[in-house]
Structure 1
Amino acid sequence: MKKTKLILLAGLAMAVSMTGCQKKEVKPGDVAGYDEGEQYLSIWVHSIEDTPEGQVYRESVDSFNEKYNGKYFADIEFIPRNDSGGGYSDKVNSSVLSGGLPDVLTLDGPNVAAYAENGIIQPLADLTEEERGEYLESILEQGTYDDKLYALGVMESSVGLYYNKDILEEAGIEVPDADHPWTRTEFMDILAKLKPIMDEKKGYPIDMTFPVGEASIYYYAPFIWANGGNLVSDDGMTVDGYFNSEKNVEVMNYFHQIVENKYMSEAPVEKLFESGR
């Protein structure tokens, strides 16, 4: 297995240098814009080109090629994920086994450690303090494995609740600021106060679902962490005593109470929030 040269692409917000097996040979003239004497760099991204996110990737690559014209040529390929999260990941995983990985690719944050541990990706070049200052600490932490930085995320994401201003105003509920959030007890009391109003609207006080797959952890792990619980041990090797801890049972019972009191629908309802219900 031959390791490709480590290169951090300027202008690409998420860049991961790859180890390459049976690397695809590309000659000048095979790809529009790739000229003799330039070092060819292949890039895979997980989005569709004809989207705002895809256009950001395209513009980043075009900017890179313009800046390093005559020295490097970056060739981007768009391989979208499907609804279940596969597609792109499936191609990456199959290419790990068969060869043909690109020089640079985007990947989901939770996969960084596994890819690094198995030698699929290489560490990025060291960043200066000024460069590190451009990124949130959570982005740097997510892309770091075994004290080495392997990836830089294009974005950070979070989980929050939207609320209908008119309905909360009708119920006389004042939304707190970030420094004085509702407690779990206060939030449950608010749902109880909203229920008779939402019964009249043939709706529910809150619109939540418990999807199958990784989305459930993405949506609801913050509730577990906020209660002092965790999903696994710090070393990631033990579940018993963590996932089924008393603290986590408290959180699950809290959600069970919301469903039991009919503050939310047991089954997803299409456009429940958007329709004012």
Structure 2
Amino acid sequence: MWYHGAGNDTERELLTAVIDDFNAAQSECSIAREDFPQAAYNESVIAAALDGSLPDLIDVDGPVMPNWAWAGYLQPLDIDPSAYADFLPGAIGSWNGEVYGLGLWDAAIAMFARKSVLDANGIRIPTLDDPWTFEEFDGILETLQATGDFDYAIDMGMAWTGEWYPYAFSPLLQSFGGDIIDRSDYQSAEGVLNGEEAQAFGEWWQSLFERGLTPGTSQDGADRETGFIDGRYALQWNGNWAGLGALEAFGDDMLYLPAPDFGHGPKIGAASWQFAVSSTSENPECANAFIEFAIDDKYLASFSEGIGLIPSTPSAAALTQNYASGGPLEVFFELSNQQGVIRPPTPAYLNAAVVFEKALADIANGADVLTALDAAVDEIDADIEANGGYTG
């Protein structure tokens, strides 16, 4: 097995426990793990796939999985669907009608806020059933900025780059009615990334920076980490992995709120790392058996307790301190379940994600919205065409 978590002592200990239990529970299979730094992991897998030296088991980031399946690096899982029937949608890696990966956890984004701040400004607390509307949310940002109590009304996290952009920001585009790629056939971005809805999103996105409501692309990483807790940002768009730190700072005043509804339903990103079986595995039965063993609720719960992410099933969540009923992060499970949308499950996503990031950064920095979106569409469509539509 290859794993991306070198340097993460907690993950290594948790995964070691699962492997040790599996090896002790039967005599037909033995799992040995090799760890890689996350920054070098994908390149290592691709190189091994090209020279035919992949191990039996690998883990793969959810949005990357369709590309690796299309490229022939992975084989569909041979696990009864009843074993993952209760999984959060984002923890199931599907492409082309087949399941290729299963994850022990998912992650979710919420609007971080303080009840005292909202109350002081006459702002209602939204719920999953009644989220803020577009007009309401935009007005809230203006109200909070006008108080003069904060450097910025909201922190969108512009210090973070790479996968953060499509994970955190493309759901906002989708809530406007656009998308990165047309999901009807995944053959083009035309109309969804540069249509009227996408242009409306782009204009609003750019206005956040023009109006000084959020830090721009030059935001310092330290400010991203501490600005909300230090009281310099009124709101923050952030993930459940940061939830406990904010809770420690603000206690009962801390709120994790659902995404606003920009017109086509509130949406947040979904899908994280998943276990998969390589296409060249000489022991696929053992590889599948290990994955089925690892998705037992007790392991889902232990990973959640150790690394703070969302267990893949409600029954595993009930075993945890943070996500059980009444737990401090309980809301994130339902945020993931009700608002989570996976990034476009297509091999074209790897290129499209990079293109999308550049377009949003350019727009944030003042580029003409339609010009930036049209250029992104052209680049995404050219890649799809160059790869034969990524079919088969």
User: For residues 194 and 115 of structure 1, what CA distance do their matches in structure 2 show?
Assistant: 44
Query: Aligned residue for 1:178?
Result: 128
Query: Aligned residue for 1:76?
Result: 33
1:137 alignment partner AA? P
Query: Aligned residue for 2:91?
Result: 139
Contact 1:208 1:268 in 2 (8 A): no
* SS, match of residue 107 in structure 1: strand
2:156 alignment partner AA? M
Does residue 231 in structure 1 map to residue 183 in structure 2?
no
User: For residues 180 and 8 of structure 2, what CA distance do their matches in structure 1 show?
Assistant: 37
User: For residues 147 and 99 of structure 1, what CA distance do their matches in structure 2 show?
Assistant: 25
**Quick one: which of 213, 216, 227 aligns to 2:162?**
213
User: For residues 80 and 178 of structure 1, what CA distance do their matches in structure 2 show?
Assistant: 37
Deviations 1:129-160 (A, max 9, x none): 3x1324223433xx222222211122222222
- Give aligned pairs, total: 225
User: For residues 268 and 241 of structure 1, what CA distance do their matches in structure 2 show?
Assistant: 31
> Which of the pair is proportionally richer in helix?
2
Measured after TM superposition, the shift of residue 128 of structure 1 is 4.4
Contact 1:204 1:264 in 2 (8 A): yes
Change (3 A) 1:135 1:264: same
**Quick one: which of 193, 211, 216 aligns to 1:261?**
211
RMSD: 1.9
1:164 alignment partner AA? R
**Quick one: which of 47, 72, 76 aligns to 1:119?**
72
> Which of the pair is proportionally richer in strand?
2
1:276 alignment partner AA? G
TM-score w.r.t. the length of structure 2 is 0.54
1:162 alignment partner AA? F
Segments of structure 2 that go 5 or more residues without pairing to the other structure are 233-392
Contact 1:164 1:276 in 2 (8 A): no
Q: Identify the structure with bigger relative contact order (alpha carbons < 8 Å, sequence gap 6+).
A: 2
Query: Aligned residue for 1:273?
Result: 228
**Quick one: which of 98, 111, 117 aligns to 1:167?**
117
* SS, match of residue 54 in structure 1: helix
Query: Aligned residue for 1:27?
Result: none
Change (3 A) 1:207 1:99: same
Identity of aligned residues (%): 27
User: For residues 149 and 81 of structure 2, what CA distance do their matches in structure 1 show?
Assistant: 59
Query: Aligned residue for 2:253?
Result: none
Deviations 1:32-75 (A, max 9, x none): xxxxxxxxxxx01111364333322111111101101x321100
Deviations 1:258-277 (A, max 9, x none): 22221112231412212111
Measured after TM superposition, the shift of residue 221 of structure 1 is 1.0
User: For residues 77 and 137 of structure 1, what CA distance do their matches in structure 2 show?
Assistant: 28
2:146 alignment partner AA? P
Contact 1:206 1:264 in 2 (8 A): yes
**Quick one: which of 1, 20, 23 aligns to 1:65?**
23
TM-score w.r.t. the length of structure 1 is 0.75
User: For residues 101 and 176 of structure 1, what CA distance do their matches in structure 2 show?
Assistant: 48
Larger radius of gyration: 1
Segments of structure 1 that go 5 or more residues without pairing to the other structure are 1-42
